[in-house]
Amino acid sequence: MLLGPQRRPGLDKVIAGLQLDGPFATITAGWQERELADDELDQHLGGRATNLALWSRRQDVLDRDPDFAAAHRRRGVELTDLQELYLIGVRHTSRALTELRSQTERSERAKRFALSDAEDVLRSLDRRHLERVREINAGFYQATRPHEHPLIAAHRAEVAHLLGQAQAVVITGGHVGELLDALHLFNVVPAGLERLPVIAWSAGAMVLTERVVLFNDNASRGPRAPEVYDDGLGLLHDAVVLPSPHQRLQMQDTARMSLMVRRFAPAVCLPLDPGARVDLTPNGGLPATAPVLDESGNVSTFAALRNVGRMDRGPHEVSEERSGGELRGVTDG
């Protein structure tokens, strides 16, 4: 289940409606150093929450395993450089698209061709960037072999044990990069996340997808083009999750929203405003009522994007192929 940001928490009502008794494994790694300040979250879960403390566990590894910590830092520097250089290309291509759209005196056919070519460049930048992120991450895990580090192996075993006792998992928001790194390091998906009910919001919902996309049209330095960040956990297929879109996107600019829809297709863009709730189908797909951005750049439903015979199937079966406060008032990265 995907929820909108919990500015006015309603998690207790959701849990009651699902008739879940717990215990609940909670993942608050996106809150970073405030990870264990989770009393309010525990209250909403009826006092039956067990925090997996993934961020604290990762910090323990970085403090006590200097070789792994050094490799982790080197990877971080390389990924940051890669992201910033990729963004230069994204920014220039996005500006070119804006300029092309303003060419009102050109022939419509020529303008359409030019816009299509520029959009292809943008999609190519996204695809190549994600491939290189994968290469860096694969090289890091191959070189460090975390499962052979006794401290990491011990933490992984403890996490798997706690997940084995849980009835469901709750993943909050916070810093999406920190959350994703901790989830990968402790191998949380095969340890139990893929077999348990999951309730997630904001960054927690973003990391469930195949591809994490960052966005902020209302940044202090002006609108930023959406940027592909990294692979997610892959539990939700062919969807890009957009928490707090009316706060962080220029939703009234339908041309801009339409470009986002085309850019990330065949994945659908899934806006999650406060109060939103999306219950995935048993096969991991979106329900007919899920809010999505359509090709015109307006909010529609998943049913309207798919014909009646296909709307209840998962997005992966029908294709070929950072936000507001949380319970603790932190951002979702």
DSSP 273-302: -TT-EE---TTS---TT-EEE-TTSSEEEH
DSSP 249: S
Q: What is the pLDDT of residue 38?
A: 95
Residue 8 in tokens: 């006015």
Q: Do residues 247 and 323 touch, judged by C-beta distance below 8 A?
A: yes
| Segment 232-291, tens digit of pLDDT | 999 998 999 999 999 999 999 999 999 999 999 999 999 999 999 999 987 778 999 999
- Beta-carbon neighbour count of residue 54 at 10 Å? 24
pLDDT level of residue 314 (50, 70, 90 thresholds): very low
| Segment 102-125, tens digit of pLDDT | 988 899 999 999 999 999 999 999
320 or 229, which is more confident: 229
240 or 223, which is more confident: 240
Amino acid at 21: D
Q: What is the pLDDT of residue 281?
A: 85
pLDDT level of residue 44 (50, 70, 90 thresholds): very high
Q: Is the pTM of this model over 0.85?
A: yes
Q: Among 267, 260, 254, which residue's Cα sits nearest to residue 305? A: 267
